[in-house]
Amino acid sequence: MSDTGTPRNLPPDPDARVYVISVAAELAGMHAQTLRNYDRLGLVTPHRTSGGGRRYSPRDVELLREVQRLSQDEGVNLAGIKRIIELTNHVEALQQRVAEMSAEIAQLRSARRDLVPVARTNALVVWKPKHARD
């Protein structure tokens, strides 16, 4: 491990597309044909060069290791693994959106002093415009 907590054999950018299939397979502890199969099944989809060669990122290598763990240690079939990956990606996207919205709300609160946080209650408030009360 390096001082940053990342393995020394992986570059610091988790999305850097740096590994050819043979290197990615070695790092993941798999055969290159297994990576081709996972790509074909849509489990781990590496970046493609203009010539069609696969380029794997450190994040891809970690995902390959996780696929292998789920398959070998947990007994999950490949269809189940694909669904787990899809759901994980969906949760991460939702978490990112929540973080973006929270930042936007914080920015609005700092810009607008007339916005006041209100505690949640189970009360129902019905508002009618003044002209509708008559």
Res 25: pLDDT: 97
Position with higher pLDDT, 1 vs 51: 51
Give all domains of the chain, ordered by start, each with its CATH number. 21-114 (1.10.1660.10)
Global pTM reads 0.67
| Residue 61 near residue 69 (C-beta atoms within 8 A) | no
- Does residue 11 surpass a pLDDT of 70? no
Amino acid 93 reads: A
**What residues have CB less than 8 Å from 63, skipping those under 6 apart?**
43, 44, 85
pLDDT digits (tens, 9 = 90+) for 14-67: 888 889 999 999 999 999 999 999 999 999 999 999 999 999 999 999 999 999
d(Cα 45, Cα 11) in Å, to the nearest integer?
Answer: 19
Length of the chain: 134
Q: What CA–CA distance (Å, rounded) separates 27 from 59?
A: 12
